[in-house]
Amino acid sequence: MGSDSRYATKIQADSADKEYVDPCSTTGCMKGRGAWGCVFFPVVLLWQSVNIYFIPCVGIYLNRLATVGEKGLCCLCVLFGCWRFKDTEFVGDAALGDPVKYRDVEWVRAREICKGLEPGKNPKLFAGKIEPADLRQGHLGDCWLLAALATLAEHPVAIRKCFLNREYSSRGKYRVRLYDGLKRQWVIIVIDDYIPVKKGTKDPIFVKPNGEELWAMLLEKAFAKFYGSYAKLSGGQEIGALFQITGDNCFSFRSVPETKKDDGYWKHHWVRHDPKFMFEERDWVSFERSDEEIKDDRFFRIMLQYNHKHSVMTAAFMYNYAKSDPELQAACEDRADRWGLVPSHAYSVLEVRRAGTSLGMGGVRLVKLRNPWGSYEWKGKWSDGSKEWTENPEIAKEVGYVDDSSDGAFWMSFDDFQDFFREVQVCDRTTVEDLRLDVVEDSAICGPTIGCVGGCIGFWCCCMGARTIYCGNVTKAETEKAAGCCTTV
């Protein structure tokens, strides 16, 4: 890519520090890297299945036993409430960051917030599947963070990997892993489960729980501590949250509109992590534009490549160039409303497809998006219930079209996509370590065992182990090159 070589070198060095494993080393071989990792693949797969599922399962049961033992030895502490963990570093007005704005606030344990929790039962860290519907924004301008989490809900293992805890902590102590782009290393954020609520109520003033699961509230609190306070989460970059959660390379493509002299094209932008570009301590996200001009069909093929790699993609519907002209901005917003889109709003890119290639003419270029709100969808061509689906039943079958206008997900043609969306952000997510023990917390005592057995069945019987370890993606500093026109996935 045509970008500053010093910056490209620095990003590659960052990636090497995090990702590179010598394929000739024992560690590299046992992770399936290099020639020896392929030669000894039966041993590699056996070790990985034990390391991913069995050892953590045993560890969870040992931790539960240790917790019971601690309660027995410290019965007086439990009786007087001293046994539960309390974070003395991140508490009160300093944690809120704006005591005037949030003056009628008190802190309560997370279990007191969960509605519908039966007496004697504990809340869950993760209750069932991770879904965008798990996120309900409060009185904090951190929609950038929630939009990133809603996008990552399509890749739930990325969220689960943030938590070193695999289930609800009866002590209320959680360890969350985030990547610090300034230090160029992972950092562990230790938090308790005290959540700020409106005084006299159990209503959280920030992210609200969906039922009895806690992950969204706790992850928001970890970000608040990472940034310095809840107030510092007001305003930010979605791509920054994606980077801090995954630690993988991120970049942006921005549309340059067509003019009388030039056709429209897309510009690639590097995400910079250089402290000298920061405005605040953690406001590290800045962009450096490359010299490369990417025409629309080539850009579509690049999006196809990232879709095939299960990368995280978001699309921003922006008319920033109209803000200097109030009349033009009003006209743009009215046009967006008529077509069911929200200006200055980020959407998750779920799929990119060149459908119907068997019908000739190169197929139809389609993009599937989701509004994080879970409602308010596109009303144009290829929208839910549009005539294009009834006129092209083969394409509907190929892409798995479902007519549901209430889920926030919708298809649109790539031509319409380019007409409305001005920025696409990509997180080239590493997927070779996507296998993880899923503790089925609803099953209480048997949860870890069920998760271990289910994980091993998927690992061996469904070939998920071999596919993930040997065919998964490793993040790269360079952007993907456009594939040939025959790419259909």
Residue 254, token pair as written in the block: 């921005």
pLDDT of amino acid 182: 81
**Mean pLDDT to the nearest integer, 186-198:** 96
User: What percentage of the chain reaches a pLDDT higher than 90?
Assistant: 52
Interval 417-445: pLDDT, tens: 998 898 999 999 999 999 999 999 989 89
Task: Please give the average per-residue pLDDT across 456-479, as a whole number.
Answer: 93
Q: With 80 as the cut, is the pLDDT of residue 302 above it?
A: yes
Angle between helices 464-471 and 41-49 (to 10 degrees): 110
The pLDDT of residue 488: 41
Q: Positive or negative CA dihedral for 314, 315, 321, 327?
A: negative
Integer angstrom CA distances of residue 382 from 398, 402, 489: 14, 12, 18
Residues of the chain above pLDDT 70, percent:
84
The most confident of 121-135, 328-342, 365-379, 438-452, by mean pLDDT: 438-452
Structure tokens at 200: 């006299």
- pLDDT tens digit string along 133-153? 888 777 777 888 988 999 999
- For the cut 60, the answer to whether the pLDDT of residue 11 exceeds it is no
- Give the model's pLDDT for residue 391: 94
Mean pLDDT for the stretch of residues 41-68: 95
pLDDT at 22: 47
What per-residue confidence (pLDDT) applies to 350? 94
pLDDT at 83: 78
pLDDT-based confidence at residue 374 (cuts at 50, 70, 90) = confident
Radius of gyration of the chain (CA): 24
Average pLDDT estimate for 304-310: 95
SS3 for the chain, per residue? Answer: CCCCHHHHHHHHHHHHHHHCCCCCCHHHHHCCCHHHHHHCHHHHHHHHHHHHHHHHHHHHHHHHHHHHHHHHHCHHHHHCCCCCCCCCCCCHHHHHCCCCCCCCEEEEEHHHCCCCCCCCCCCECCCCCCCHHHCECCCCCCHHHHHHHHHHCCCHHHHHCCECCCCCCCCCEEEEEEEECCCCEEEEEEEECEEEEECCCCCECCCECCCCECHHHHHHHHHHHHHCCCHHHCCCCHHHHHHHHHCCCEEEEEEECCCCCCCCEEEEEEEECCHHHCCCCCCCCEEEEEEEEECHHHHHHHHHHHHHCCCEEEEEECCHHHCCCHHHHHHHHHHHHHCCCCCCEEEEEEEEEEECHHHCCCCEEEEEEECCCCCCCCCCCCCCCCHHHHHCHHHHHHHCCCCCCCCCEEEEEHHHHHHHCCEEEEECCCCCCCCCCCCCHHHHHHHHHHHHHHHHHHHHCCCHHHHHHHHCCCCCCCCCCCCCCCCCC
Pick the more confident residue, 423 or 30: 423
**Per-residue model confidence (pLDDT) at position 162:** 97
Q: What angle do CA 8, 9, 15 make, to 5 degrees?
A: 90
Per-residue pLDDT at 209: 82
Instruction: Work out the number of other CB atoms within 10 angstroms of the CB of residue 452.
Output: 23
Q: In the prediction, which pLDDT does 485 show?
A: 42
pLDDT tens, position by position, 220-272 = 999 999 999 999 998 788 899 999 999 999 999 999 877 656 778 899 888 76
Q: In the chain, which segments carry CATH 3.90.70.10?
A: 249-427
State the average pLDDT over residues 313-328. 68
Give the position of tokens 């693949």: 41
Please tell me the predicted confidence (pLDDT) of residue 274. 60
The model's pLDDT over 382-396, given as tens digits with 9 standing for 90+, comes to 999 999 999 999 999
371 included as an active-site residue: yes
Active-site pick, 122, 308, 345, 485: 345
Catalytic residue (choose from 249, 371, 392, 473): 371
Answer yes or no: are the C-beta atoms of 405 and 385 closer than 8 Å.
Answer: yes
Task: Report the pLDDT value the prediction gives residue 183, as an integer from 0 to 100.
Answer: 84
pTM of the model: 0.86
Most confident residue range from 44-58, 195-209, 285-299, 416-430: 44-58
Q: Give the pLDDT confidence score for residue 285 in this predicted structure.
A: 67
345 is catalytic: yes
Q: Tens digit of pLDDT for each residue in 217-234?
A: 999 999 999 999 999 998
Sign of CA dihedral 467, 471, 476, 478: negative
Q: Is the pLDDT of residue 24 over 50?
A: no
Categorize the per-residue pLDDT at 21 as very low, low, confident or very high, splitting at 50, 70 and 90: very low
Is the pLDDT at 156 greater than 70? The verdict is yes
Q: The tokens of 37 are what?
A: 């990792």
pLDDT at 407 over 80: yes
What mean pLDDT is predicted for residues 91-106? 86
pLDDT band at 328 (very low <50, low <70, confident <90, very high): low
- CATH class, 249-427 region: alpha beta
Q: Which of 143, 427, 452, 456 is catalytic?
A: 143
Which is it for strands 250-256 and 194-198: parallel, antiparallel or unpaired? unpaired
Mean pLDDT of 400-429: 92
- Computed over every residue of the chain, the mean pLDDT equals 84
